[in-house]
Structure 1
Amino acid sequence: MNPQSDPRLSAIGAQQGYPNGAFAMKTETPEPQRVLRESELPALDGLAKTQRAELIRRGQYPAPVRISERRKVWLAHEIADWQSARISVRDTKGTL
Structure 2
Amino acid sequence: MIHSYRHRYGVVPGDPAYAPLEALLAKQPPISVPTIVLLGADDGVDPPPSQDEEAKHFTGPHTRRMLPRVGHNVPQEVPTVFASATRELREMG
Q: Which has the larger Rg?
A: 1
TM > 0.5: no
TM tier, shorter chain?
under 0.3
Question: Greater relative contact order: 1 or 2 (C-alpha under 8 angstroms, separation 6 or more)?
Answer: 2
* TM-score between both structures, scaled by the size of structure 1: 0.25
* TM-score between both structures, scaled by the size of structure 2: 0.26
